[in-house]
């Protein structure tokens, strides 16, 4: 069907040109914001699936940021254009699979984060949790539903979602803009390491000022650990006011504290498009290292600006350094103005580059004797668009550009990239590629330390698109994400969008992994488990539950050798296809049952011992042993005339445990508890081991229609309450 598209209510704001009215003053005073709302979410896995497609909606384009005045366009050819054709990229592809689809929204804003066992992907306007083998574990969930407990802007509208994995805390951080008549930044921090569980939610109000294009980074210093954030601030959602460089109080957020502050300092309105430093690897920045922020200033000669934000959450203060100017090679704006010019096969519609800013992320890594950062952006290179990338050393000290390059090996356009590095100093870049003869594709390249400086190896394809974006929609992105797997610190995971068929507002997303063969610890097996926890809930003492399963997938590049699979506690392995070997890319399944031998919560572990990093890999097992069993657990009274009493139906109460149990009450709950009553009860105050008693229940409807309730037997036999459902209809 023919689709039309509409813009969100603030869309007219984004039709501005680069000729913005700049504020006259410079605000160097730190602004401290406390949450305007704070809540705890339901577990993500219990939230409704977002399956309702909408008519095509295009989110407002990120507002153009002012580029520092330049002394004319570069007068020479790109001095760091890579002319040498290098060998094929020395990385091995791993598993890849599709992620969340469009459902009528554009652009994708596709992003991901990687943990030991999970991938969390966000798009505009949904999120989902996957195993590393591609199994969907939760969602897709609408982001406004996810933040719904906060109310206000965060429950009304969403844009620009970002997800981070905080490796040192083993937590997940999800953020986006909350949009209604005003603007907020919405932040969620998982309460545990399970991304399908509950989150602590925060809302920070920006009032009528738009906090455009927010990006977050993890910065876990000891004394003032922070989640760093950047925003392009548009006063009254119109005039550019500068870049807000900020930090959230990470310590309080991890504790769920409702007073977690965000401290910001705004730059002059001649600067924008900053990225925050985002930690990769297990080594944190040296304590006291300020938050690091980079932006690209399109000058002649070329420049990056580095600013440092010193935070003191205890005192509620922050100070921002003057910009350190980092000289880089000249470059031309992609498409001449940073906008849309990327061609596609089979259509005249061109795609947007967002070539006026650095592209997510600013990947930071701390080595024993130095710091390293990689960043990138799109540039004009002859008649096409190319990727300019930089590797910068020691940003918190005597900063230097170690190498830089422009990757344009042929006439294909390359843009919307994300860069990162592994623990072995291998650099990888994932990106979109398109031309008049190919549909938009997802590709990657990279380099190893022995390659000549400023060069990347010949690219590889992750996925070649089979369609192009058409019908007047140029938006593509507005960013992608390349992350490093914390399980081995070598495997890269990348996500981007593509088209399966020609169309608009129907993009797909894809995720894939690859690893450089020279990375220490790479080239071997990697274990991904389908879940980190199995919950068997209530099971009678001495009875065996139905089995629950765990799938192990070898997402590495070599055969996995398993030496043992074992269960502890009141848990037994009921089935096991995880024998001695699992080939690369293959999986196996273990089934576990629960047979409690005592009352109360019973815990155990399912352990896989093998030759992969992180061995043994553990799945936590939990269940509750209960002494009191009801039979039956459901009564149906059919239709009974209002005001009349049904024949009573009995429920047998049994103590299957080894000890006497004390009853604490026999009650009714649910939507119609007053329509049921106990007509007979042979149960006393206690019940001996192995004994039975009986409770008879009658139904007397007070109104017509379905009248449901629950019969609850309070007891101290484990599990607190034994429950039976009661169903009847008033006639």
**Per-residue model confidence (pLDDT) at position 77:** 82
What number does CATH give the domain 6-20+31-47+83-516? 2.130.10.10
Going by their DSSP bridges, the two strands 508-516 and 91-98 should be labelled as: antiparallel
**Per-residue model confidence (pLDDT) at position 53:** 60
**Per-residue model confidence (pLDDT) at position 639:** 97
- Per-residue pLDDT tens over the stretch 360-391: 999 999 988 899 999 999 999 988 999 999 99
Query: Has domain 628-730 been given CATH number 2.60.40.10?
Result: yes
Which pair of structure tokens corresponds to residue 109?
A: 């804003």
- Per-residue pLDDT tens over the stretch 72-91: 455 568 999 998 889 999 99
Q: Which of 76-85, 97-106, 417-426 has maximum average pLDDT?
A: 417-426
Distance CA 653, CA 656 (A): 10
Select from 294, 409, 437 the least CA-distant residue to 363.
294
**Per-residue model confidence (pLDDT) at position 57:** 64
- Per-residue pLDDT tens over the stretch 683-711: 999 999 999 999 999 999 999 999 999 99
Beta bridge partners of 540: 626
Q: Is the pLDDT of residue 495 over 50?
A: yes
**Per-residue model confidence (pLDDT) at position 58:** 65
CB-based contacts of 531, cutoff 8 Å, min separation 6: 117, 131, 137, 550, 619
> What strand order describes the sheet that includes 158-166?
37-40, 199-207, 183-190, 171-179, 158-166
Does this chain's domain 6-20+31-47+83-516 share its CATH topology with 527-626? no
User: What does the domain layout of the chain look like in residue ranges?
Assistant: 6-20+31-47+83-516, 527-626, 628-730
> Which CATH number is 527-626's, of 3.30.565.10, 3.40.50.880, 2.60.40.10, 3.40.50.970?
2.60.40.10
Q: Is the pLDDT of residue 456 over 50?
A: yes
Beta bridge partners of 508: 498
Beta bridge partners of 665: 714
CB 302 within 8 A of CB 327: yes
CB 384 within 8 A of CB 366: no
């Amino acid at each position: 069907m023919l689709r039309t598209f509409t813009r969100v209510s603030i869309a007219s704001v984004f039709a501005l040109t680069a000729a913005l009215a700049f504020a006259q003053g410079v605000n160097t005073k730190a602004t401290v914001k406390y949450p305007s709302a704070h809540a705890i979410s339901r577990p993500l896995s219990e939230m409704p699936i977002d399956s309702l497609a909408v008519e095509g909606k295009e989110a407002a384009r990120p507002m153009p940021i002012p580029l520092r005045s330049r002394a004319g366009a570069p007068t020479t050819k790109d001095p760091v254009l890579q002319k040498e054709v290098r060998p094929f990229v020395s990385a091995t592809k791993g598993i890849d699979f599709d992620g969340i689809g469009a459902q009528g929204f554009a652009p994708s804003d596709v992003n991901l984060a990687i943990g030991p066992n999970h991938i969390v992907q966000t798009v505009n306007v949904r999120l989902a949790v996957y195993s590393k083998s591609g199994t969907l574990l939760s969602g897709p969930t609408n982001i406004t539903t996810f933040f719904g407990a906060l109310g206000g802007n965060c429950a009304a509208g969403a844009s620009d979602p970002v997800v981070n994995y905080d490796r040192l805390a083993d937590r997940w951080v999800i953020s986006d803009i909350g949009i209604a008549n005003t603007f907020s930044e919405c932040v969620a921090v998982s309460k545990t390491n399970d991304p399908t569980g509950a989150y602590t939610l925060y809302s920070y109000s920006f009032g009528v000022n738009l906090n455009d294009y927010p990006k977050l980074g993890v910065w876990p210093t000891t004394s003032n650990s922070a989640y760093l954030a950047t925003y392009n601030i548009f006063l009254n959602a119109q005039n550019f006011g500068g870049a807000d460089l900020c930090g959230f109080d990470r310590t309080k957020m991890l504790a769920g504290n409702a007073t977690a502050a965000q401290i910001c300092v705004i730059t002059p309105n001649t600067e924008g498009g900053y990225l925050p430093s985002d930690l990769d690897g297990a080594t944190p920045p040296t304590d006291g290292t300020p938050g690091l922020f980079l932006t690209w200033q399109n000058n002649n000669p070329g420049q990056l600006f580095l600013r440092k934000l010193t935070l003191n959450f205890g005192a509620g203060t922050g100070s921002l350094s003057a910009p350190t100017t980092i000289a880089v090679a000249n470059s031309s704006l992609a498409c001449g103005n940073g906008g849309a010019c990327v061609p596609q096969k089979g259509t005249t519609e061109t795609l947007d580059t967002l070539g006026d800013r650095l592209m997510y992320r600013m990947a930071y890594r701390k080595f024993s004797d130095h710091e390293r950062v990689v960043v990138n952006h799109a540039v004009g290179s002859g008649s096409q668009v190319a990727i300019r990338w930089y590797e910068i050393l020691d940003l918190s000290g005597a900063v230097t550009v170690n190498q830089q390059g422009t990757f344009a090996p042929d006439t294909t356009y390359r843009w919307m990239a994300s860069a990162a590095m592994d623990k072995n100093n291998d650099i990888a870049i994932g990106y979109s590629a398109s031309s008049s003869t190919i549909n938009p594709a997802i590709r990657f390249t990279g380099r190893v330390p022995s390659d000549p400086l400023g060069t990347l190896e010949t690219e590889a394809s992750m996925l070649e698109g089979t369609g192009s974006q058409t019908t007047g929609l140029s938006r593509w992105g507005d960013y992608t994400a390349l992350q490093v797997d914390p399980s081995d610190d070598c495997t890269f995971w990348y996500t981007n969008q593509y088209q399966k068929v020609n169309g608009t507002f129907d993009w797909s997303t894809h995720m894939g992994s690859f690893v450089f063969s020279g990375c220490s610890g790479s080239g071997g097996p990697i274990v991904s488990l389908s879940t980190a926890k199995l919950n068997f809930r209530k099971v009678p003492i001495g009875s065996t539950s139905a089995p629950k399963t765990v799938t192990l997938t070898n997402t590495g590049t070599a055969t996995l050798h398993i030496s043992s699979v074992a269960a502890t506690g009141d848990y037994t392995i009921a089935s096991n296809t995880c024998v001695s070997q699992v080939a690369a890319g293959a999986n196996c399944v273990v089934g576990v049952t629960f047979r409690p031998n005592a009352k109360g919560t019973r815990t155990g572990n399912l352990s896989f011992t093998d030759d992969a990093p992180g061995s043994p890999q553990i799945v936590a097992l939990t269940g509750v042993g209960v002494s009191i069993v009801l039979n039956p657990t459901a009564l149906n009274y059919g239709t009974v005339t209002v005001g009349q009493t049904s024949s009573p139906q009995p429920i047998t109460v049994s103590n299957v445990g080894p000890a006497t149990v004390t009853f604490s009450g026999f009650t009714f709950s649910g939507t119609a508890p007053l329509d049921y009553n106990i007509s007979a009860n042979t149960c006393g105050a206690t019940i001996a081991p192995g004994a039975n008693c009986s409770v008879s229940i009658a139904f007397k409807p007070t109104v017509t229609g379905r009248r449901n309730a629950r019969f609850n037997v309070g007891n101290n036999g484990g599990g607190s309450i034994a429950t039976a459902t009661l169903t009847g209809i008033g006639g």
